């Protein structure tokens, strides 16, 4: 019987996640092909391979997306931004063994029948023009089914998880159902990304600046409430389960006390939306847009305000700055932050 892990692994998108996955697989001897749209990044990759800062380079074949032909057999790891998905889907056969490792929820991706997905909680920042990345915050990769899967699909996904774990760049956990991890990642991303990206600050500033902290904690509370109202199961990513995070956020004084311990690990790390603001394309639809759609009639004033702010900043080509957070706070309904 043919095993997918024995076929070349095609990774679409040489960004922070895709570059790290490619590096780890290549180092362990797996056949990897990186597919990228950025011409300069492709040219650099063809010369130098993919590099993780401090760990060196691995030779990996690079192919321009417009010249790429989907394989008849083998894993296709989707590591692009969600706004690039339509172009990918247009070229994929329906039976492709697609394994997305993305942030956020793309409605078109949700309609597909792929077996599994991966959710990365480590933070990796890749240069825009070169496949050189650095892991700025440790974390895990959860990989598993996103629907009831067959025994063969389970075997293939588990073999991929085992292959990704060999490099020991991050812990890899194979889970029966990856959807609670995806929802939990959204809870955090949709609180961090719009605030940090619009303000032009690192993630640690959300636990330092008084107004940023107030907005960040408020968004975490609202995101949790939306997901619970919708009956979406959640899972533990990091030290606490979202249920525990909710208790912390509702305990007077405790969030500000806990912030002191998390601030150092977030300092110098940037959300994936930060480099997208200047080019005018973000994943806000896949983050806060998804939560707004999920909420329906359930109140979500912070998500609506954050969504509108990011749209305004990108549409009007405004420079990211802290004043945008004050603008957001000033345009919230009375009592939202109390």
Upper half-sphere CA count for residue 310 (Cβ side, 13 Å): 29
User: Beta strand pairing status for 50-52 and 75-78?
Assistant: unpaired
Per-residue pLDDT at 164 exceeds 70? yes
DSSP 8-state class, residue 204:
G
> What's the whole-number average pLDDT of the chain?
96
In order of their start, the domains of the chain are 7-177 (3.40.50.720), 181-330 (1.10.1040.10)
Asked if the model's pLDDT at residue 309 lies above 60, the reply is yes
Residue 1 has pLDDT above 70, yes or no: no
Report whether pLDDT(9) > 90.
Answer: yes
Q: Does the pLDDT value for residue 194 go beyond 50?
A: yes
- The per-residue pLDDT for 299 is 97
CA 262 – CA 269 distance, rounded (Å): 12
Q: What is the pLDDT of residues 228-268, one digit of tens each?
A: 999 999 999 999 999 999 999 999 999 999 998 888 878 88
pLDDT at 277 over 90: yes
CA dihedral 101, 104, 106, 111 (to 10 degrees): 70
- As a residue count, the chain comes to 338
Cβ–Cβ contacts within 10 Å for residue 113, how many?
Answer: 9
Give me 129's structure tokens: 């023009």
DSSP 16-75: HHHHHHHHHHHHTT--EEEEES-HHHHHHHHHH-EEETTTEEE---EEEGGG----SSSE
Give the span between the Cα atoms of 40 and 183, in whole angstroms.
34
pLDDT at residue 18, rounded to an integer:
98
- DSSP assignment, residue 79? -
Q: Work out the average pLDDT over 290-307.
A: 98
State yes or no: pLDDT of 3 exceeds 90. no
Q: Give the start-end residues of each E strand in the chain.
A: 9-12, 32-36, 50-52, 56-58, 62-64, 75-78, 97-100, 116-120, 123-126, 132-137, 141-145, 172-175
The structure tokens 């792929």 sit at: 114
Checking if the pLDDT of 2 tops 70, the result is no
Tens of pLDDT, residue by residue over 104-133, are 999 999 999 999 999 999 999 999 999 999
CA separation for the pair 79, 97 (Å, rounded): 14
pLDDT value of position 215: 98
């Amino acid at each position: 019987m043919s095993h997918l892990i024995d076929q070349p692994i095609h990774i679409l998108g040489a960004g922070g996640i895709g570059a790290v996955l490619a590096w780890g697989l290549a180092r362990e001897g797996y056949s990897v092909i990186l597919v990228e749209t950025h011409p300069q990044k492709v040219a650099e990759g063809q010369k130098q391979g993919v590099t993780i800062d401090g760990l060196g380079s691995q030779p990996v074949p690079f192919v321009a997306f417009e010249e790429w032909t989907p394989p008849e057999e083998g894993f296709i790891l989707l590591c692009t931004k969600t706004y690039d998905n339509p172009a990918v889907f247009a070229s994929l056969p329906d039976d492709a063994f697609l394994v997305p490792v993305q942030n956020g929820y793309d409605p078109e991706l949700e309609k597909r029948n792929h077996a599994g997905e991966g959710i990365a909680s480590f933070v990796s920042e890749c240069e825009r023009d070169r496949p050189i990345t650095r892991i700025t915050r440790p974390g895990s990769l959860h990989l598993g089914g996103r629907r009831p899967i067959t025994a063969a699909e389970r075997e293939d996904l588990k073999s991929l998880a085992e292959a990704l774990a060999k490099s020991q760049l991050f812990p890899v956990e194979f889970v029966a159902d990856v959807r609670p991890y995806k929802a939990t990642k959204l809870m955090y991303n949709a609180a961090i990304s719009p605030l940090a990206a619009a303000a032009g600050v690192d993630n640690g500033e959300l636990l330092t600046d008084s107004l940023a902290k107030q907005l960040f904690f408020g968004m975490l509370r609202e995101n949790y409430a939306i997901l619970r109202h919708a009956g979406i199961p959640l899972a533990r990513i990091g030290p606490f389960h979202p249920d525990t995070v909710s208790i912390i956020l509702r305990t007077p004084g405790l969030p500000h006390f806990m912030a002191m311990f998390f601030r150092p690990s977030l300092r110098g790390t940037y959300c994936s939306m930060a480099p997208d603001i200047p080019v005018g394309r973000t994943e806000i639809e896949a983050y806060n847009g998804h939560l707004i759609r999920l909420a329906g009639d359930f109140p979500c004033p912070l998500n609506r305000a954050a969504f509108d702010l990011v749209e305004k900043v990108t549409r009007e080509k405004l420079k990211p700055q802290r004043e945008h957070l004050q603008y957001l706070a000033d345009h919230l309904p009375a009592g939202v932050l109390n």
